[in-house]
Amino acid sequence: DTAVSQTPKYLVTQMGNDKSIKCEQNLGHDTMYWYKQDSKKFLKIMFSYNNKELIINETVPNRFSPKSPDKAHLNLHINSLELGDSAVYFCASSQALGLVQFFGPGTRLTVL
Amino acid sequence: DQQVKQNSPSLSVQEGRISILNCDYTNSMFDYFLWYKKYPAEGPTFLISISSIKDKNEDGRFTVFLNKSAKHLSLHIVPSQPGDSAVYFCAASAGTYKYIFGTGTRLKVLA
């Protein structure tokens, strides 16, 4: 009964490929987020969806596209992967915007 | 432009003693602060929060202090336990939906 789950946990791929990371929350939350933690350990927000509507869209290359099929899911699709995309990606959810966020376990993406 | 800074990358403390983790910020508009704890291979877990209208918030062994004039907050853990060994992140928000995170401090509690 994991609250926020992500798949896969590890993803190793070649430059130029397209990949997706899936996120699901069973908390009944309205808001979901994607964060990127880079090699310097900065945890930076990328996107936020509230009730399937995009609310926060930070300066992220448009190779990254979030997709929210319903309130419980927020998937992250990445096109034309680059070496600099290697990082740990965390999904999170909160009951509403601005409230405490619950994080998934992270997906470690390695681009070779 | 790093608005939230945790200048100590690591800290070691003896079991039973007090752990003090520090966080500095530069944006005076920040009005809500959170501390998260992270174990390896897991996502961050919410620990404690404080609003800018308060200067202290306590929850069991965890207390967060906020000094607005110094733009500084600290997390006190007392007594420290081996299970507290983790990376601790502070995060701040300026009345928006976006939290800015620090880079974390790795706490090691020695038995």
pLDDT tens across B34-92, in order? 999 999 989 999 999 999 999 999 999 999 999 999 999 999 999 999 999 999 999 99
pLDDT at B80: 98
In sequence order, what are the residues at sequence separation of 6 or more whose Cβ sits closer than 8 angstroms to the Cβ of residue B60? Answer: none
Q: Does B52 touch chain A (CB under 8 A)?
A: no
Which of A53-57, A68-72, B18-22, B63-67 comes out lowest in average pLDDT?
Answer: A53-57
Nearest residue to B27 via CA among B71, B74, B70: B71
How far apart, in whole angstroms, are the C-alpha atoms of residue A16 and residue A24? 26
Measured between alpha carbons, how far is A76 from A62 in angstroms, rounded to an integer? 12
- What is residue B1's predicted lDDT score, i.e. its pLDDT? 66
Confidence tier at A98 by pLDDT (50, 70, 90): confident
**For B83, phi and psi rounded to 5 degrees?**
-70, -10
> pLDDT tens-digit profile of B101-110?
999 999 999 9
Cβ separation B41–A98 shorter than 8 A: no
- What value does the mean pLDDT of chain A take? 91
Mean pLDDT of B19-30: 96
Residues of B in contact with A99 (CB under 8 A): none
A99 pLDDT more than 90: no
Contact between A98 and A110 under an 8 Å Cβ cutoff? The reply is no
Asked if omega into A69 is within 30° of 0 (cis), the reply is no
Q: What value does the mean pLDDT take over residues A81-96?
A: 94
Q: Identity (one letter) of the amino acid at A54?
A: L
Q: In which band, very low, low, confident or very high, does the pLDDT at A17 lie, cut at 50, 70 and 90?
A: very high
CA B9 to chain A, closest CA, distance in angstroms equals 10
Q: Judge whether B41 is closer than 8 Å to chain A, CB to CB.
A: yes
Partnered with residue B92 across adjacent β-strands are B33, B100
Per CB-CB distance under 8 Å, the chain B contacts of A97 are 97
Task: Please judge whether A48 and B98 are an interchain contact, meaning their C-beta atoms are less than 8 angstroms apart.
Answer: yes
Q: What is the DSSP letter of B3?
A: S
- The pLDDT value given to residue A58: 82
pLDDT of residue A60: 86
Q: From CA A20, how far away is CA A33, in angstroms rounded?
A: 15
The mean pLDDT of B2-24, rounded to a whole number, is 95
Per-residue pLDDT, A1 = 64
Least confident of A1-5, A29-33, B6-10, B44-48: A1-5
- Identify which of A29, A22, A21 has the alpha carbon closest to the alpha carbon of residue A52: A29
